[in-house]
């Protein structure tokens, strides 16, 4: 399998971290891909021109990141990252959606920051910043436990992206439970080996 990926993408990190946690990363070739320049191989796999995309041996292109994580969960022998159907599964799925939403907003802020700033852009940035802040507040109210499911991995990747791109907007002091949780899991090989660069 080949993973079209980008070392700074929190979505690509989530997929790689899931692959490492599932013990299947050895079967995946990482292909650095600049989504913004829309190379032909990326567009052939994903017309939305976004990474990550997992290309299977039979040519099937799998996106977006929750779908790839679902697929990875069917491979290998390590414990599943998807709890069995029921409240725990729902909690993991909703946490992944929340973390992905934080990533979406933070990535949008990062992209827009490079553009000329007018009143409209400042308003758009404030809106996305609000998304991140409300997302963090929701995670703080019920932080993940451990790193045993896709929701927790997604949350760690969202926080890691904030540290990577928004270090000038520290979040730990206002979210002590979340900070303590991240400190307790950040040495996990799935996070260490997928850290953004
Ligand atoms: N919902 C997608 C989001 C992926 C995404 O936004 N990827 C960004 C990089 S972090 C990207 O490729 N952006 C390129 C673009 O929007 O043109 C997923 O979960 O995979």
CATH number of the domain where residue 20 is located: 3.40.30.10
Whether 49 and 111 share a structural domain: no
Q: Which residue segment(s) compose the domain that 156 sits in?
A: 87-188
181 and 91 share a domain? yes
Q: How far is the CA of 167 from the centre of ligand 1 (A)?
A: 21
What number does the ligand 1 atom closest to the CA of 38 have?
Answer: 17
Q: What is the CATH number of the domain that holds 174?
A: 1.20.1050.10
Q: Which residue's C-alpha comes closest to atom 16 of ligand 1?
A: 50
Residue-level pLDDT at 110: 97
pLDDT of residue 171: 98
Separation between Cα atoms, residue 173 and residue 171, nearest integer Å: 6
CA nearest neighbour of 31 among 52, 61, 4, 53: 4
Per-residue confidence (pLDDT) for residue 191, from 0 to 100:
98
Atom of ligand 1 nearest to the CA of 9: 10
In a shared domain, residues 94 and 153: yes
One domain, residues 98 and 57: no
107, 65: one domain:
no
At residue 76, the pLDDT reads 87
The CA 51 to ligand 1 mean position distance, Å, reads: 5
Indicate if 100 and 25 belong to the same structural domain.
no
Domain's final residue, options 72, 105, 131: 72
Low-confidence ranges of the chain (pLDDT < 70): none
Nearest CA to ligand 1 atom 5: 50
CA of 171 to the centre of ligand 1 (A): 23
Which residue from 66, 69, 91 is spatially nearest to 146, judged by alpha carbons?
A: 91
Answer whether the bond into residue 102 is a cis peptide, omega within 30°. no
> Same domain, yes or no, for 17 and 109?
no
pLDDT at position 123, please? Answer: 96
Residue 82 placed within a domain? no
Pocket of ligand 1 (CB under 6 A): 6, 9, 11, 35-36, 49-52, 63-65, 100, 107
Q: Are residues 98 and 163 in the same domain?
A: yes
Q: How many domains does the chain have?
A: 2
From the CA of 10, give the closest atom in ligand 1.
10
Distance CA 72, CA 11 (A): 14
Question: CA-CA distance, 193 to 180, in Å (whole number)?
Answer: 21
**Does residue 107 lie within any of the structural domains?**
yes
How many whole angstroms from 149 Cα to the centroid of ligand 1? 22
What is the pLDDT, as a whole number, of residue 24? 97
């Amino acid at each position: 399998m080949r993973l079209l990926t980008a070392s700074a993408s929190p979505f690509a990190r989530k997929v790689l971290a899931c692959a490492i946690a599932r013990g299947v990363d050895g079967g995946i070739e990482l292909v650095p891909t600049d989504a913004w320049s829309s190379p032909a191989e990326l567009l052939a796999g994903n017309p939305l021109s976004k990474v990550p995309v997992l290309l299977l041996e039979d040519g099937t292109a799998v996106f977006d990141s929750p779908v790839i994580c679902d697929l990875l969960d069917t491979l290998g022998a390590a414990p599943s990252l998807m709890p069995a159907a029921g409240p725990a599964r729902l909690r993991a799925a909703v946490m992944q959606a929340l973390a992905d939403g934080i990533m979406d907003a933070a990535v949008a802020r990062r992209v827009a920051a490079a553009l000329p700033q007018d009143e409209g852009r400042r308003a758009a940035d404030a809106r996305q910043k609000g998304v991140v802040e409300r997302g963090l507040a929701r995670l703080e109210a019920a932080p993940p436990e451990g790193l045993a499911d896709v929701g927790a991995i997604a949350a760690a990747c969202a926080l890691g992206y904030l540290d990577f791109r928004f270090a000038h907007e520290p979040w730990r002091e206002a979210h002590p439970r979340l900070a303590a949780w991240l400190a307790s899991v950040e040495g996990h090989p799935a996070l260490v080996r997928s850290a953004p660069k």
